[in-house]
Structure 1
């Protein structure tokens, strides 16, 4: 799931490697592509959170719903990505945007996709090679086999929200003040899904690098590994570093509520704590 810079450097020019630059800024939607055009890891192609990794926002589905699957697969195929290549995703070091791409490929059934630890900032700090060249790949065919074990729908969450002695744990990955409903800078309502516990996503990272597995296990030591876990955030992006951290800590049953809190509050009947 997570690889280091030395591994990527060693395998950088192998034909069966595809590298995906997921640089993006929630504050400036154009910045990610600008960063990519400035320089990037050799062989990397850019996937934009809003243009490529999200679909059109509607009444339900949250702020970053999935794009139409066929359209996304077509983009993968034009990037030379099929089930036979190893894919490495990175962002500028935030972790969440690369993790979004990792999760989407995992959901589509790809079994050899990884996130570069430290992101591009770590890569540059290591004085590893960069380029401005935009690669072109021969179109391939991506075979899809949806992995429902990593996906949780709103109905799945509603079935366990606030339940007593539930065998499913809801993890709210947002910062504590948003979890507590003390402030809400983005969504129309403040609060949290009933019964959710708070594990801020950024606490699993240190300057863009994932903390060691034993540290992650300590972060989640109040959760039984036997229980199903559903992670969410505001829009299904920043919950994903928690997803990766949980998997690194040895938790097997982890799902993402893709629509997250922004989808939850779009249903008037859904309660909020």
Structure 2
């Protein structure tokens, strides 16, 4: 499944009216840095979507650190970016992969299938000596009608069924680095450990210097998983699980869901067990 676009394709189609580029640059350490970097330099024609301001809702008691954004507000932002059902959308970040994949997942969740991630991100674009600008574009407002794909989203009850061993047919994948999965350290969330029954597939192992590994290599990463299995991916807050979701789909896995609240939502319920 072709979910990733290379920079050569984007260069050829840079001025196409039905192509929209979305810069998702973000820094978890400095939330203002992403927009500042976008305003300083970006791919020509790119608009900006902020992880916390646009791609996430307000954090509450439950829902995790980066909960689902308000769908109406997100759709309105898409309309002001000139995106409708006919637009081919390319998202990118600085090459980390997670922020662009978060946008990609959200747009897919809203029923827009013509959305792709730029392989290599902005770092790869710059390495190719391709054009950049500081000009911020304006677009004619469109109409965007979301058609929610509920099959992409896992509920906490579905995750609980796996953790409680009531559902033995679903594979739960923890996308965080091994030390967090094992509970040896936890730099962000209030508790350390993992959701019971989860296996570990660190998200960054699907990329090489910002470029997604080929589909056959992705398949090798997941050889211990039956392609017919139901799969739920999670991470700390639903962001770095998105590249694993994308990698699984690229590898041909069909039954994949994202637990958006992820571990930060899981631990917000005192009754939930931690392994």
What TM-score does the superposition give when structure 1 sets the normalisation length? Answer: 0.98
Q: Aligned runs of 1:26-65 on 2, under 5 Å?
A: 26-65=28-67
- The aligned counterpart of 2:18 is 16
Asked whether 1:121 is paired with 2:123, we answer: yes
Task: Give the 3-state SS of the residue equivalent to 1:170 in structure 2.
Answer: strand
* CA shift in 2, pair 1:164/1:72, >3 Å: closer
Q: 5+ unaligned residues in a row in structure 1: which ranges?
A: none
Cα distance in 1 for residues equivalent to 2:96 and 2:258: 19
- 2:198 alignment counterpart: 196
Whole-angstrom distance in 2 between the partners of 1:52 and 1:148? 20
| TM-score, normalised relative to structure 2 | 0.98
Alpha-carbon deviation of 1:32?
Answer: 0.5
Q: CA shift at 1:164, angstroms? A: 6.8
Give the Cα–Cα distance (whole angstroms) in 2 for the partners of residues 18 and 79 of structure 1: 8
Alignment of 1:97-108 (within 5 A): 97-108=99-110
Which residue number corresponds to residue 71 of structure 1? Answer: 73
What's the Cα RMSD here?
Answer: 0.9
Aligned to 1:230: 232
Structure 2 residue corresponding to 1:172, chosen from 171, 174, 178? 174
CA deviation map 1:109-141 (0-9, x unaligned): 001000000000000000111111111001111
Corresponding residue number in structure 2 for 1:140: 142
95, 105, 119: which one aligns with 2:97? 95
For residues 205 and 49 of structure 1, the distance between their equivalents in structure 2, rounded to whole angstroms, comes to 20
Structure 1 outlier segments of 4+, above 6 Å = none
Q: Size of the alignment, in residue pairs? A: 273
Give the drift of 1:148.
1.0
* Residues in 1 aligned to 2:247 and 2:73: alpha-carbon distance in whole angstroms: 29
* Residue in 2 that maps onto 1:215: 217
Distance 1:165 1:266, change over 3 A: closer
User: Does the Cα contact within 8 Å between 2:26 and 2:33 map onto a contact in 1?
Assistant: yes
Name the SS of the counterpart of 1:152 in structure 2. Answer: coil
| 2:185 corresponds to which of 161, 183, 186 | 183
C-alpha contact 2:238 2:262 (8 A) present in aligned 1: yes
* Contact 2:23-2:47 within 8 A present in 1 as well: yes
